[in-house]
Amino acid sequence: MTYDTIIKGGRWFDGTGAASAVRHLGLRDGRVATVSAEPLDETGCADVVDASGRWVLPGMVDIHTHYDVEVLEDPHLVESLRHGVTTILLGSCSLSTVHVDPVDAGDLFGRVEAIPRQHVIRSVGAHQRWSSAAEYVAALESLPLGPNLASFLGHSDMRTATMGLDRATRDDVRPTRSELDRMEQMLTEALDAGFVGMSAQQLLFDKLDGDLCRSRTLPSTYAKWGEMRRLRDVLRRRRRVLQAGPDATHPHTIVTQALGSIGWGSSGLGWTGRGRAPLKTSLLSAADIKAIPFVIHLMRLLGTAVNRLGADFRWQHLPVPFEVYADGIDLVIFEEFGSGAAALHLQEKLARDELMRDPEYRARFRKDYESKYGPRVWHRDFFDAEIVACPDGSVVGKSFGQVGVERGGAHPVDAFLDLVLEHGTALRWRTTISNHRPKVLRKMAQTPSIQMGFSDAGAHLRNMAFYNFGLRLLKHVRDAERAGRPFLTAEQAVHRLTGELAEWYELDAGHLREGDRADLLVIDPERLDASLEEYAEAPVEQYDGLSRMVNRNDATVPLVMVGGRAVWRDGAPTDALGRERTGRFLRAGEPARDPLPADGAGTLPSAS
The 10s digit of each residue's pLDDT in 475-532 is 999 999 999 999 999 999 999 999 999 999 999 999 999 999 999 999 999 999 999 9
Residue range(s) of every CATH 3.20.20.140 domain in the chain = 61-321+435-504
pTM, two decimal places: 0.94
Run of H or E residues at 309: none
Top-confidence residue, 56 or 336? 56
As a whole number of angstroms, the distance between CA 154 and CA 65 comes to 12
> Would you place residue 603 in the very low, low, confident or very high pLDDT band (cuts 50, 70, 90)?
very low
The residues, ordered by sequence, that sit 6+ positions from 226 with a Cβ below 8 Å of its Cβ are: none
For residue 363, the model assigns a pLDDT of 97
For residue 273, the model assigns a pLDDT of 57
Residue 608 has pLDDT above 80, yes or no: no
Pairing of strands 520-523, 559-562: antiparallel
As a whole number of angstroms, the distance between CA 385 and CA 608 comes to 50
For residue 275, the model assigns a pLDDT of 73
For residue 34, the model assigns a pLDDT of 97
Residue 600 has pLDDT above 50, yes or no: no
DSSP single-letter state for residue 554: G
pLDDT by residue (tens digit) across 142-179? 999 999 999 999 999 999 999 999 999 999 999 999 99
As a whole number of angstroms, the distance between CA 249 and CA 530 comes to 36
CA angle 571, 577, 581 (to 5 degrees): 145
**Side-chain half-sphere CA neighbours of 124 within 13 A:** 27
Cα torsion 170, 174, 179, 184: sign: positive
Tell me phi and psi for residue 549, to 5 degrees.
Answer: -70, 135
pLDDT by residue (tens digit) across 255-299? 999 999 998 765 544 455 567 889 999 999 899 999 989 999 999
Run of H or E residues at 95: none
Burial zone of 249 (CB within 10 Å; 0-12 exposed, 13-18 middle, 19+ buried): middle
Average pLDDT over residues 38-54: 97
Nearest to 40, CA basis, from 30, 28, 29: 28
Select from 2.40.160.20, 3.40.50.300, 3.20.20.140, 1.10.3720.10 the CATH code of 61-321+435-504.
3.20.20.140
pLDDT by residue (tens digit) across 195-229? 999 999 998 889 999 999 999 999 999 999 999 99
Residue range(s) of every CATH 2.30.40.10 domain in the chain = 5-58+516-530+554-600
Q: Which residues pair with 279 in a beta bridge?
A: none
pLDDT exceeding 70 applies to what percent of the chain? 95
Residue 331 has pLDDT above 90, yes or no: yes
Nearest to 510, CA basis, from 148, 244, 145, 54: 148
CA angle 136, 281, 229 (to 5 degrees): 80
Average pLDDT over residues 522-544: 95
Where does 201-348 have alpha helices with state H?
A: 225-238, 252-259, 295-308, 338-345
SS3 41: coil
For residue 542, the model assigns a pLDDT of 85
CB-CB neighbours of 239 under 10 Å:
17
SS3 51: coil
Q: Which residues pair with 322 in a beta bridge?
A: 434
As a whole number of angstroms, the distance between CA 513 and CA 48 comes to 19
For residue 497, the model assigns a pLDDT of 98
Average pLDDT over residues 103-130: 96
- Is residue 587 within 8 Å of residue 89, measured between CB atoms? no
Cα torsion 90, 96, 102, 104: sign: negative
Tell me what the pLDDT averaged over the chain comes to: 93
> Would you place residue 554 in the very low, low, confident or very high pLDDT band (cuts 50, 70, 90)?
very high
pLDDT by residue (tens digit) across 413-461? 999 999 999 999 999 999 999 999 999 999 999 999 999 988 999 999 9
Question: The domain at 5-58+516-530+554-600 falls in which architecture?
Answer: Roll (2.30)
Top-confidence residue, 577 or 14? 14
Run of H or E residues at 422: helix 412-423
Cis peptide before 285 (omega within 30 of 0): yes
> Would you place residue 324 in the very low, low, confident or very high pLDDT band (cuts 50, 70, 90)?
very high
Nearest to 422, CA basis, from 441, 440, 400: 400
